[in-house]
Amino acid sequence: MNTLRQFSVLPGFGLSLGYTLIYLSLIVLVPISAVFVFTSQLSLSEYWQVVTSPRVMASYQLSFGASLLAAGINAIFGVLLAWCLVRYSFPGKKIVDALIDLPFALPTAVAGIALTALYAQNGWLGQIIEGYFGIKVAFTPIGILIALVFIGLPFVVRTVQPVLEEIDTELEEAATSLGASRWQACRYVVLPVLLPAIMTGFALAFARAVGEYGSVIFIAGNIPMVSEITPLMIISKLEQYDYTGATAIASVMLIVSFILLLLINLLQSWAAKLTGRNA
């Protein structure tokens, strides 16, 4: 690592650190601290009351719970998708590859409306699922989960893909020649190397899901205590011109998200160390 005032053949540390700090401050830190400045207009008891009201508490549970679950689902299927794209060649591979990024490009409201139309009681899929299995999807937490899985899909695929491409098939051949089964070769040889990338993808998908508004709002139905997400609570406060209330809830979201992301990052660097990459 490079520290200040140390000679280096590749200079630029001071310049790039300065640039990074100013840029981060302008783009991230200033807007976020505004949230806390606004929030500080409330007294502590008022603040506590706003952020712990039953409806808001229910929304935290839904938002963070559904986001974690969605990121988990994306982690599993994202690895599967990346595996197929890296290891096999099949007709239409390029198209599949491009499709994966589509949830990035699509306006989230479009995704929300499309999903709602599909999963509503009279939609194509909604009809089947509700008719045969008796499960309501649209306007329930399940609908929210589906929307969050949809928008989080690209993250794990795109973080795992390059790492997987670098894994030599020779490693699996070596494992197999040593008597490992296909499952053992994947479990003990491939997965440990992929783990840090999977966790990065998981963290990104989770962060995206927590902040998602547009696509969720249509399919959620927004029933109090059942299918209201935290971003919706913030919007509804704003619509009532309760700016400080909105920022109070936002501050809780920020803090919880920050802690969770920090935890995932720590876990990830621990995993990376475990796989000998930093050794």
| 88, 91, 177, 241: residue in contact with another protein (rule CB under 8 A) | 177
Cβ partners under 8 Å of residue 113, min gap 6: 218
Piece of the chain touching another protein by CB under 8 A; list 93-101, 197-205, 241-249, 270-278: 270-278
Length of the chain: 279
Task: Tell me if 244 contacts another protein by CB under 8 A.
Answer: no
Q: How far is the CB of 190 from another protein (least distance, A)?
A: 10
Name the residue type at position 120: A
Query: CB-wise, 43 or 169, nearer to another protein?
Result: 169
Piece of the chain touching another protein by CB under 8 A; list 53-61, 135-143, 182-190, 242-250: 182-190
| 142, 180, 256, 260: residue in contact with another protein (rule CB under 8 A) | 180
| 97, 101, 165, 173: residue in contact with another protein (rule CB under 8 A) | 173
Q: CB of 78 within 8 A of CB of 153?
A: yes
Distance between CA 109 and CA 138 in Å, rounded? 15
Task: Tell me if 192 contacts another protein by CB under 8 A.
Answer: yes
Distance between CA 146 and CA 120 in Å, rounded? 13
SS3 sequence, 114-163? HHHHHHCCCCHHHHHHHHHHCCCCCCCHHHHHHHHHHHHHHHHHHHHHHH
User: Can you list the alpha helix ranges (DSSP code H) found in 40-53?
Assistant: 44-51
Q: How far is the CB of 88 from another protein (least distance, A)?
A: 18
Query: CB-wise, 170 or 239, nearer to another protein?
Result: 170
Q: What are phi and psi of 79, to 5 degrees?
A: -65, -45
Q: CB of 42 within 8 A of CB of 172?
A: no
Query: CB-wise, 45 or 278, nearer to another protein?
Result: 278
CA distances from 73 to 53, 150, 180 (A): 30, 10, 28
| 193, 256, 260, 261: residue in contact with another protein (rule CB under 8 A) | 193
Query: CB-wise, 93 or 277, nearer to another protein?
Result: 277
Piece of the chain touching another protein by CB under 8 A; list 173-181, 206-214, 248-256, 257-265: 173-181
| 54, 179, 239, 241: residue in contact with another protein (rule CB under 8 A) | 179
* Residue of 158, 149, 151, 159 whose CA lies nearest to 268: 159
Task: Tell me if 178 contacts another protein by CB under 8 A.
Answer: yes
Query: Given the rule CB under 8 A, which residues bind another protein?
Result: 168, 170-171, 173-181, 184, 188-189, 192-193, 274-277, 279
